[in-house]
């Protein structure tokens, strides 16, 4: 048994057994249990220890080969035959560091047929935790995360377009990220991985496009973080992006969105299993991941949806737990309302499906995203725009003109950062852009959608299509509303 494996088992078993001993001491102190209640039970808390034990057991039963790198959640054992992988053997410059990333892999999938002139390509960008599997393929027939939006006659029409979706740099589904092996050490990068910018992700994607011989995209399309990437692609390579689609995104992360992602990173990093990010030869921080996903889920949907879907309904009780006739149902501190069981379930489903460090790094990249000119100037970025200066910023950017029509009047009393944003977005002034947002979105608020459209118009972009959707689905609308989201995209791309 390897030293790593032994350490992992020791760590995993130490905690549950300590819990059990402590519990035993406590229960002996409550033998004079009062009339009120039985000894309290907390299945929602015990579930964490039970998961830990299952994971520990999976180590000890794993084959010697697997044990070399510790017990791995499913994401760490992807089937490389189910997607394509591009290996880039040379260094990638990074926005926040003088030293480049030595080399990297990008996992990708595609749909449709590449035209002989390679002019029908749509690059589709994912949200935070999605993989390249946006739709089913012959290599992987499982439904993808945007199954209903990709295909013949759909929003991204495979009769017309060749669609490429990558797993982002920093992710854990085949592209290089914190869980990947660092060439210099032969061990996982963990938190020695450099903090990424959304722009770094785009530069990695364009290395893939170069490899594929694709000179210009018909369109760059993305939702949520993918919308940030979509805008960043246009900024870095304005001559290589024909159209931009930004659904429920932003050009400048708001402090309230940073706050909500900070809360998720905090609970994750407080999980002792996280161990400063060096958990790849031990047990992953599954409890922190579950708690983080519960918080995230709150930001993905909306109060009005839950009013309709759950209201104040309680979970059904097993017959043995039903109160006696005429007595009220005793509440529980563990999930009791349906909204609680829903959040618990969402966390449970996700907690072993994604790498914790990838979540931390990618959510941080979202926080850092800011296309105001002063921020862009401070980064180590180069654009392919011929009009750009050495540091990638257009010197004419400050002298923006406005392109507001009567139906889109310029904002009254625009805040100072809006001018900075318009200046920063000047390279996108000639790219037709669709901005679509959702009024019930609490993560990328509708105010941010208006800000984005205003900044683009102030930068001189005369081809900004802007839509706001109603409905109660909040941020997740882009995953659900095929009719309205799909329709707007289809109209804009045609």
For residue 431, the minimal CB distance to a second copy (Å) is: 25
- Closer by beta carbon to a second copy, 135 or else 231: 231
For residue 377, the minimal CB distance to a second copy (Å) is: 10
- Closer by beta carbon to a second copy, 331 or else 386: 331
- Closer by beta carbon to a second copy, 80 or else 470: 470
Biggest CA-to-CA distance, the chain: 82
- Indicate if 441 belongs to the active site: yes
Mapping DSSP onto H, E and C, the string for the chain reads CCHHHHHHHHHHHHHHHHHHHHHHHHHHCCCCCCCCCCCCCCHHHHHHHHHHHHHHHHHHCCCHHHHCCCCCCHHHCCCHHHCEEEEECCCECCCCCCCCECCEEEEEEEECCCCCCCCCEEEEECCCCCCCCCCCCCCCCCCCCCHHHEECCCCEECCCCEEEEECCCCCCCCCCCCCCEECCCCEECHHHCCCCCHHHHHHHHHHHHHHHCCCCECEEEEECHHHHHHHHHHHHCHHHECCEEEECCCCECCHHHHHHHHHHHHHHHCCHHHHHHCCCCCCCCHHHHHHHHHHHHHHHCCHHHHHHHCCCCECCCCHHHCCCCCCCCCCCCCCCEHHHHHHHHHHHHHCCCCCHHHHHHHHHHHHHCECCHHHHHHCCCCCCCCCCCCCCCCCCCCCCCCCCCCCCCCCCCCCHHHHHHHHHCHHHCCCCEEEEEECCCCCCCHHHHHHHHHHHHHCCCCCEEEEEECCCCHHHHHHHCHHHHHHHHHHHHC
- Indicate if 224 belongs to the active site: yes
- Closer by beta carbon to a second copy, 162 or else 342: 342
For residue 473, the minimal CB distance to a second copy (Å) is: 14
For residue 151, the minimal CB distance to a second copy (Å) is: 35
- Indicate if 396 belongs to the active site: no
Selecting among 224, 246, 248, 302, the annotated active-site residue is 224
Selecting among 441, 454, 459, 476, the annotated active-site residue is 441
For residue 48, the minimal CB distance to a second copy (Å) is: 6
- Closer by beta carbon to a second copy, 158 or else 176: 176
For residue 339, the minimal CB distance to a second copy (Å) is: 4
For residue 405, the minimal CB distance to a second copy (Å) is: 27
- Closer by beta carbon to a second copy, 33 or else 143: 33
Selecting among 125, 132, 475, 476, the annotated active-site residue is 475
- Closer by beta carbon to a second copy, 295 or else 489: 295
Catalytic residues: 224, 441, 475
């Amino acid at each position: 048994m390897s030293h790593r494996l032994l350490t992992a088992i020791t760590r995993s078993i130490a905690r549950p057994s300590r819990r059990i001993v402590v519990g035993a001491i406590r229960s002996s102190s409550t033998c004079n249990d009062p009339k009120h209640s039985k000894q309290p039970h907390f299945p929602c808390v015990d579930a964490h220890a039970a998961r830990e034990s299952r994971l520990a057991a999976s180590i000890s039963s794993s084959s010697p080969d697997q044990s070399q790198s510790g017990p791995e959640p499913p994401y760490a054992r992807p089937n490389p035959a189910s997607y394509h992988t591009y290996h880039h053997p040379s260094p990638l410059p990074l926005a926040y560091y003088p030293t480049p990333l030595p080399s990297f892999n990008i996992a990708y999938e595609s749909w449709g047929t590449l035209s002989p002139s390679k002019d029908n390509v749509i690059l589709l960008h994912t949200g935070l935790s999605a993989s390249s599997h946006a739709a089913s393929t012959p290599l992987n027939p499982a439904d993808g995360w945007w199954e209903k939006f990709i295909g013949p006659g759909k929003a991204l029409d495979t009769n017309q377009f060749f669609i490429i979706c990558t797993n982002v740099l920093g992710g854990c589904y085949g592209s290089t990220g914190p869980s990947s092996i660092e060439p210099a050490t032969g061990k996982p990068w963990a938190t020695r991985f450099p903090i990424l910018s959304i722009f770094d992700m785009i530069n990695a994607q364009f290395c893939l496009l170069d490899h594929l011989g694709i000179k210009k995209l018909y369109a760059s399309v993305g939702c949520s973080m993918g919308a940030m990437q979509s805008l960043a692609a246009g900024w870095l390579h304005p001559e290589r992006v024909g159209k931009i689609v930004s659904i429920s995104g932003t050009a400048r992360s708001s402090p309230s969105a940073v706050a909500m992602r900070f809360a998720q990173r905090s609970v994750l990093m407080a999980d002792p299993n996280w161990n400063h990010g060096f958990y790849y030869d031990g047990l992953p921080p599954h409890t922190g991941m579950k708690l983080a996903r519960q918080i995230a889920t709150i930001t993905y949907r909306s109060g009005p949806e839950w009013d309709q879907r759950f209201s104040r309904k309680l979970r059904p009780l097993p017959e043995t737990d039903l109160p006696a006739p005429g007595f009220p149902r005793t509440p529980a501190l563990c999930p009791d309302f349906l909204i609680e069981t829903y959040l618990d379930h969402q966390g449970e489903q996700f907690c072993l499906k994604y790498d914790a460090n990838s979540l931390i790094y990618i959510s941080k990249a979202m926080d850092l995203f800011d296309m105001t000119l002063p921020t862009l100037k401070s980064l180590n970025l180069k654009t392919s725009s011929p009009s750009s200066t050495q540091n990638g910023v257009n010197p004419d950017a400050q002298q923006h003109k406005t392109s507001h029509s009567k139906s889109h009047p310029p904002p009254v009393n625009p805040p100072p950062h809006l001018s900075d944003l318009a200046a920063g977005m000047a390279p996108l002034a000639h790219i037709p852009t669709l901005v679509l947002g959702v009024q019930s979105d609490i993560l990328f608020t509708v105010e941010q959608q208006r800000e984005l459209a205003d900044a683009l118009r102030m930068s001189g972009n005369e081809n900004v299509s802007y839509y706001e959707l109603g409905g109660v689905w909040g941020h997740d609308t882009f995953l659900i509303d095929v009719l309205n989201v799909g329709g707007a995209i289809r109209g804009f791309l045609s």
